């Protein structure tokens, strides 16, 4: 299902998704809002920009592209997208983290449109390598795309998977690393430097690209040709991002990793989003 939109359309969609994420988390009083905002444009590009071939009416069709959200705490941004596309009713967003709801803070495999459970980090890329290998062995042409957090790249299994994918030349696999330079409690570089992720992925046998993860033209430029299997290596795209992008006072503050704004904070967050958006109307 291709849903390519214009740059302006996509920016408006990213804005709408951020608002939906904010309202969903504010209602529940929880959720990793800033982690979701870090990768909003990347998710919007994948789902609305004609990249992923998926079918909301038939979420499990065998020829679908597989998208693995390895940083499963960013589910708060993916769920609004899946609801908006019709994988499940939008009313589910109102029941986020509630007794009669379909999902909670971390990504669940039971939700239509979701491939794997995630929340414990370091699992998604390894599963993606298995999916990519299965596709190659079964001569299936779908893509496998995994979105990782940079903080997740501290965990060993990521590099076990990176070595495996590079060594096996899994050219149908793309990993996007959300490089916001923050993990849960601190900035990555002063804590334990991750350094040049491009150099690291390249050393593991991957082709690498870099992009501004909030700029649609750059995102599409980096994703260009990912469906071409003429590449001989898996592709790692380093998405330079800002954790909490869209709301200034929540951006780049560790305090906001696991918090949803409330009361005056919420009003301020709504105001900032509205000021930044073109045509957004409050869904409430």
Partner 1 sequence: MKTQRDAFFESLYDIAFQDKDVVLVSADMGAPSLDRFRRDLAHQYVDVGIAEQQAILVATGLSLGGMKAFVYGIGPFVTYRCYEQIRLDLGAMNVPVTIVGVGAGMSYEESGPTHHTTEDISCLRALPNISITNCSDSVMASAMAANSLGLDHPSYVRLDRQAFPVLYRPGHDFSGGLEVLRQGDSLFLVATGNTVHDALALAGELEAHGLRPGVIDVYRFPINPELFREKTKGAKILFTMEEHTLPGGLGSAVAEIIADYGLGLRLKRFGCDFSRGLCYEYGGRRRLQELHGLNPRIMSQTIVDMTRSL
Binding site for partner 1 (CB under 8 A): 62, 66, 109, 115-117, 120, 123, 125-135, 137-138, 140, 156-157, 160-161, 163-164
Least distance from C-beta 125 to partner 1, angstroms? 8
- Tokens 């699992």 belong to residue: 123
Question: For partner 1, which is the closer residue by CB, 112 or 157?
Answer: 157
Residue 148 in contact with residue 189, Cβ under 8 Å? no
Do strands 173-179 and 66-69 pair parallel, antiparallel, or not at all (unpaired)? unpaired
Least distance from C-beta 130 to partner 1, angstroms? 2
Question: For partner 1, which is the closer residue by CB, 76 or 135?
Answer: 135
Question: For partner 1, which is the closer residue by CB, 5 or 112?
Answer: 112
Question: For partner 1, which is the closer residue by CB, 72 or 244?
Answer: 72
**CA 232 and chain centroid, separation:** 25
Q: Is 194 helix (H, G, I), strand (E, B) or coil?
A: coil
Least distance from C-beta 169 to partner 1, angstroms? 14
**What's the rounded Cα separation, in Å, for the pair 114 and 265?**
31
- Which class for 150: exposed (0-12), middle (13-18), buried (19 or more C-beta within 10 A)? buried
CA dihedral 241→29→77→178, nearest 10 degrees, is 30
Question: For partner 1, which is the closer residue by CB, 159 or 220?
Answer: 159
Least distance from C-beta 3 to partner 1, angstroms? 25
Least distance from C-beta 237 to partner 1, angstroms? 20
- 174 forms beta bridges with 145, 235
């Amino acid at each position: 299902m291709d849903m390519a939109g214009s740059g302006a359309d996509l920016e408006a969609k990213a804005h709408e998704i951020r608002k939906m994420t904010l309202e969903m988390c504010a209602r529940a009083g929880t959720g990793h809002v800033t982690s979701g905002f870090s990768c909003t444009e990347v998710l919007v590009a994948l789902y609305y920009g004609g990249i992923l071939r998926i079918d909301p009416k038939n979420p499990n069709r065998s020829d679908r592209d597989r998208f693995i959200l390895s940083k499963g705490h960013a589910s708060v941004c993916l769920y609004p997208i899946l609801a908006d596309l019709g994988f499940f009713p939008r009313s589910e967003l109102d029941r986020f983290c509630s007794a009669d709801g379909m999902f909670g803070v971390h990504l669940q495999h039971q939700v239509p449109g979701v491939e794997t459970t995630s929340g414990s980090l370091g699992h998604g890329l390894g599963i993606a390598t298995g999916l990519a290998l299965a596709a190659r062995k079964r001569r299936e042409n779908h893509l496998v795309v995994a979105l990782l957090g940079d903080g997740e790249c501290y965990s060993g299994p990521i590099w076990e998977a990176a070595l495996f994918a590079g060594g096996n030349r899994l050219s149908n696999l793309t990993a996007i690393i959300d490089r916001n330079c923050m993990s849960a409690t601190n900035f990555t570089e002063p804590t334990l430097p991750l350094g040049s992720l491009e150099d690291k992925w390249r050393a593991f046998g991957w082709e690498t690209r870099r992009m501004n993860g909030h700029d649609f033209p750059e995102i599409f430029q980096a994703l260009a040709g990912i469906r071409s299997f003429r590449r001989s290596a898996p592709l790692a795209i380093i998405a330079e991002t800002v954790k909490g992008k869209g709301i200034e006072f929540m951006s780049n503050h560790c305090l906001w990793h696991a918090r949803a704004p409330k009361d005056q904070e919420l009003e301020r967050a709504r105001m900032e989003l509205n000021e930044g958006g073109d045509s957004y109307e409050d869904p409430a």
